[in-house]
Structure 1
Amino acid sequence: MNDHNSCLEIKAIDTLAQQNAIQRQSQLTKPPGSLGVLESIAIQLAGHQGLVCPQINRPWVTVFAADHGIANEGVSAFPAVVTQEMVKNFSAGGAAITVLAKANDAAFEVVDVGVLADVTEEGKKPFPNLISCRVAAGSFNFLHQAAMSNEMLYKAQNAGCLAVERALEQGADLFIGGEMGIGNTTSATAIIAQICNVAVTDIVGIGTGIHSEQKLHKIKVIERALQIHQADMTSPMQVLTCVGGLEIAALVGAYLTCAEQGLTIVVDGVIACAAALIVCEVAPQAKGWMMFGHQSIEPAQQAVFHHLDVRPILDLSMRLGEGSGAAMAIPVIKMACLLHAQMATFDEAGVSESDEVMDKNG
């Protein structure tokens, strides 16, 4: 998993299954296109699963957690200690994403890729659903040096790869990567500004809920960091090394592995989108394995959607992260599959087709 595209073998989408799914959609008892995005979801999944009627039975959620040296610059409304406190909350089942995973019968785990304190060493009681893949005690402050070394990048990506392997071993048919890390919207925004070539001022959001003065400060921090690292950011992976985060690198590794192994990805909010953007730059065919769960209120995410020419499934004005927006899309994806598989065709229902369809078909 590196910068050399030749090393990446993205699994081909089954275009015949997609054509058959399109054909089925044209025969269902409804006006053509009347189910909108639900139709394209079913067709995209048909290509992923090689089935005319795909279904989602085993969703999987992995939240990657890591701290950020850039948090020392006062870019977040919360202190860095919140990352480790939230890791415990994920483990205990008290976070939004754990509630949503349970409601969707999704497998759930949280992976410590680089939280400042190693929570697994606290006390003797094990933390359920917590996996330790610690690369370092957080990334470096990228206002003063690169966020991570090449070795840290590789190890963090590998943590993402291992999560997908665990998911596949358990028969997962849909993968959601969530994230937790105070300061990570700063990282994500820097990545997106650099790769999409957009002004930082236009895409900085409020993240954890910063006020207007903090937002101006955040803009200056990101702009300065991009200036400092400009000469070194000659590839998407080097952008990640310079201004990224360990949990973002883990998401990159996870998404690349999903695309190589042929596992459907539902991308979450702005941090997950920064990872998806890097993956699509490194391996453009990987985009075919991605669905975008929701539109958050973080403006940087819009820049990614525009750059990749994609549209999200939901718009609920969310900005929580954790994989929560992507998890909200699971019921919609399941309904798309059910409608596609269980609606009657015109022939089966004995319903007359429109003149246009009749002319076209016979």
Structure 2
Amino acid sequence: MELEELLAAITPADKEAMEGCRKNWDAIAKPINGLGNLEVMLVQVAGATGKTDLSLGAKAVAVFCADNGVVAQGVTQTGQEVTLAVAQALGEGRSSVCHMARVAGAQVVPVDVGMLAHAPVPGVRDLSVRPGTADMTKGPAMSREEAQAALMAGAQIAMELADQGIALLAAGEMGIGNTTTAAAVTSVLLDLPASVTAGRGAGLSDAGLVRKVTVIQRALMLNQPDRKDPLDVVSKVGGLDIAAMTGFYLGAAARKRPVLLDGAIACAAALLAVRLCPNARKAMLASHRPSEPCGQLLLQELGLKPVLDAGLHLGEGTGAVAAMPLLDMALSVYQNMTTFDHMGIEAYQPDGRAVSGPALTGVAP
């Protein structure tokens, strides 16, 4: 499949299904919008899938692993050897997201889209485009063709999982230096200075943060990415993981599957996907409020409200996986809770007041 074909396959959200889902929620014997953003998210699921009879049974999180050449500029606390070490843990099922996914009932799919040269890693899918990106302070991080190849690799994974019956998707990443690339991408897409978009990542000192901001500024000045051209942005100052996640979100939308966003890196990829195809937003659900400044700015731009605010900044898709049980709980209410009609009482009205009728015993006003 070519990129143009992928984008053309993404249809708008199904407004009829969304309205049907809202009516179903309002018929349930509870206060209107009593589950807040969880109700909104299931309405989004209806819009993405085109169904009001919702199912989130089979779940999977794809974790895209890639190295970033900008690490050479001292923007991280750790070296690039950590990317491979965590990828090995992912392949063995012992990384953080693997433990959390087992509780959430989700499959973990690690994918190498561009780590530095290494021996094959058991349990990690090899779709590597190139062995890490170039240092973006010396020139483009990768070619436009390589960025598109990584994007299509991500789309391939999403569509494969959807075709295997996965109902709820998520994407994570592993790549030392990728909060720097995410901040750079955000600076371009939102036309904001690096001093606003860059954060401390895995724990930079004040001096380290200043260095990170300076590095991003140099990369942007040198490469002059075109904010109107998402592929130009991700190829010049992004990363292979961000490109792959961009494709993953597009693939999920094309297959009408809802997809949970993780942190700042995921949100950068999500906005790139929406800039490539606005209809892709229909599939996106925000899991948590990112710790990185750029992640918060990106969620605002996407118009998405997260359901968790726990100071998460681990990566690997852990925030997205953490939100999965909450959606399962909300879906159980949606599918199984008795309705006002079944109880023989009057429903709550949109202004928040119940019409005259018997009291709702045990239900908060």
Show the counterpart of 1:321.
Answer: 315
Q: In structure 2, what is the Cα distance between the partners aligned to 1:180 and 1:265?
A: 18
Is the partner of 2:310 in helix, strand or coil? strand
More displaced stretch, 18-27 vs 271-280: 18-27
Show structure 1 runs of 5+ residues with no match. 121-125
CA distance in 2, matches of 1:4, 1:159: 15
Which one of the candidate residues 190, 194, 219 is aligned to 1:196?
A: 190
CA deviations over 1:246-301 (Å, ceiling 9, x no partner): 11111111111111121111011000111001111111111111001111211111
CA shift for structure 1 position 233:
5.4
Q: Would the aligned equivalents of 1:114 and 1:138 in 2 still touch at CA under 8 Å? A: yes
Structure-2 change in CA distance of 1:106 and 1:216 (3 Å): same
Aligned to 1:275: 269
For residue 59 of structure 1, what is the amino acid of its counterpart?
A: K
The DSSP-based 3-state class of the residue aligned with 2:176 is coil
Matches within 5 A, 1:212-251: 212-230=206-224, 234-251=228-245
The answer to whether the aligner puts 1:337 opposite 2:323 as a matched pair is no
Give me the whole-angstrom Cα distance separating, in 1, the residues matched to 2:55 and 2:66. Answer: 33
- 1:339 and 1:333 map into 2 onto residues whose CA distance is 10
* 2:158–2:248 Cα contact (<8 Å) kept: yes
Instruction: Answer yes or no: is the 8 Å Cα contact 1:5–1:282 preserved in 2.
Output: no
Match for 1:127 among 122, 141, 152? 122
Aligned residue runs from structure 1 range 248-263, under 5 A:
248-263=242-257
CA shift for structure 1 position 2: 7.9
Could you report, residue by residue, the CA deviation over 1:24-62 in whole angstroms, capped at 9, with x for unpaired residues?
A: 112111121222112112222222333323121011111
Q: C-alpha distance in 1, partners of 2:42/2:230?
A: 31
8 Å CA contact 1:55–1:334 kept in 2: the answer is: no
Alpha-carbon contact 1:41-1:336 (below 8 Å) kept: no
In 2, Cα distance between equivalents of 1:40 and 1:170: 27
- Contact 1:78 1:182 (C-alpha < 8 Å) held by counterparts: yes
Tell me whether 84-93 or 301-310 shows the greater mean CA deviation: 301-310
- 2:301 aligns to what? 307
Instruction: Measure how far apart 1:93 and its partner are.
Output: 1.6
* 1:336-355 mapped onto 2 (5 Å cutoff): 336-354=330-348
| 1:252/1:344 CA distance change after superposition, 3 Å | same
Distance 1:100 1:161 in 2: 24
Identity of aligned residues (%): 33
The amino acid that maps onto 1:93 is G
Cα distance between partner residues in 1 of 2:17 and 2:3: 32
* SS in structure 1 of the partner of residue 304 of structure 2: coil
Question: Matched residue of 1:110: which SS?
Answer: strand
Which residue in the other structure is 2:149 paired with? 155
What is the distance in 1 between the residues matched to 2:341 and 2:324? 31
* Runs of 4+ that moved beyond 4 A: 1-7, 231-234, 354-359
Corresponding residue of 1:123: none
SS for the counterpart of 2:311 is strand
Instruction: Check conservation: 1:11, 1:261, Cα contact below 8 A.
Output: no
Distance (whole Å) between structure 2 residues aligned to residue 100 and residue 323 of structure 1: 10
CA distance in 2, matches of 1:134, 1:94: 22
Instruction: Write the deviation string for residues 200-233 of structure 1: whole angstroms up to 9, x where unpaired.
Output: 1122111111111111000000011111112655
**1:12 positional shift:** 3.2
Deviation, structure 1 residue 339: 0.9
Asked if 2 retains the 8 angstrom alpha-carbon contact of 1:236 and 1:278, the reply is yes
Q: What is the rounded CA distance, in whole Å, between the counterparts of 1:193 and 1:141 in structure 2?
A: 18
Answer yes or no: is the 8 Å Cα contact 1:140–1:147 preserved in 2. yes
Aligned residue identity for 1:193: S
Aligned length: 353
Does the CA contact (< 8 Å) of 1:71 and 1:80 recur in 2? yes
Given the two structures, how large is their TM-score scaled by the length of structure 1?
Answer: 0.92
Query: Runs of 5+ in structure 2 lacking a partner?
Result: 357-365
The residue type equivalent to 1:275 in the other structure is: A
Q: Tell me the C-alpha RMSD between the 2 structures.
A: 2.0
**CA–CA separation in structure 1 for the residues paired with 2:93 and 2:229:** 38
Shift of residue 154 of structure 1? 2.1
What corresponds to 2:361 in structure 1? none
